[in-house]
Amino acid sequence: MGYYSLLPKSIAVEFLNHICISKTDMESVPGYPMPDDFMTNTENRLSAFRFDERANELFVLDQLLLPHRIEFIPVKNTKDAFTVIRNMQVRGAPLIAVVGALGLLVEISDLEFKSPDEFVQFVDSKVQYLLESRPTAINLRNAMEQILNTAEIEGDAEFKKESVIYAILKIYHDEKDENRRLIWNGYQEASGLRVICALHQADLVEMVYALETRPYYQELRDVGGAFAGVLQEEMP
């Protein structure tokens, strides 16, 4: 059951409108099919990272600076990906996996390999290196295993490289689609905030308390950054 299904319909619709749903004439909110264009336009929305597929450029939001500053860190290789993961400038298991995978993609895109074995050895070394950035991150481990398994398929070096790039892009797009589905159902990590936004618009919020005990006040920083990104008004 999504959070919005616990709300009165009028408030639930307001909540769904707030997170960029293009269709508002719903007969019922819970179970309504997700529109194809739901959250596909991210130009005016604060994102945890920016990835340009054509240019192979990756920028990661420095979550340690939230909510006071919004800055993006360029990630040009696996070393950069390792650093932002290890320093906890990115958080959240799925995001860590995507950043690690895309860091590898950016690095190998312009490289040439003389033999299949050279490519596999290169990918294996980078996979093992990235795994050390956050040894307990299961999503990162799963993504790295998927990439390494792809690198070991039969074929020449160029075919292996193209296959790995395709596998990484699939990890990236699958995660984007999963996030859209989770947000639609009200379960994503900021869903509580989005419900609060809708309730605030309905003048039903007296006070919001942000509590956090994890290192660097991670969730508090995320929520603060989300407020900075989606609200243009003060909230108590």
> Does any domain span residue 81?
yes
pLDDT along the chain (236 residues), means of 10: 40 44 39 64 72 94 86 97 96 93 97 96 98 95 97 96 96 86 56 59 69 54 48 45
> Does any domain span residue 132?
yes
Most distant CA atoms of the chain, gap in Å: 64
pLDDT value of position 165? 96
> Does any domain span residue 10?
no
pLDDT value of position 166? 96
**CA–CA gap between residue 235 and residue 128 (Å, rounded):** 45
> Does any domain span residue 167?
yes
> Does any domain span residue 36?
no
**CA–CA gap between residue 67 and residue 223 (Å, rounded):** 8
**CA–CA gap between residue 221 and residue 69 (Å, rounded):** 10
pLDDT value of position 219? 52
CA angle centred on 194, ends 192 and 200, rounded to 5°:
105
Asked if 25 contacts 9 with a C-beta cutoff of 8 angstroms, the reply is no
Token pair for residue 214?
């994890």
Cis bond before residue 236 (omega within 30° of 0)? no
3-state SS string for the chain? CCHHHHCCHHHHHHHHHHCCCCCCCCCCCCCCCCCCCCCCCCCCCCCCEEEECCCCEEEEECHHHCCCCCCEEEECCHHHHHHHHHCCCCCCHHHHHHHHHHHHHHHHCCCCCCCHHHHHHHHHHHHHHHHCCCCCCHHHHHHHHHHHHHHCCCCCHHHHHHHHHHHHHHHHHHHHHHHHHHHHCCCCCCHHHHHHHHHHHCCCCCCCCCCCCCHHHHHHHHHHHHHHHHCCCCCC
Q: What's the predicted TM-score (pTM) here?
A: 0.69
pLDDT value of position 216? 55
**CA–CA gap between residue 224 and residue 167 (Å, rounded):** 34
> Does any domain span residue 115?
yes
Per the structure, the complete domain to which residue 155 belongs is given by: 44-179
> Does any domain span residue 49?
yes
**Domains of the chain: total:** 1
pLDDT value of position 91? 86
Residue 86 belongs to domain with CATH number: 1.20.120.420
pLDDT value of position 131? 97
pLDDT value of position 20? 38
> Does any domain span residue 66?
yes
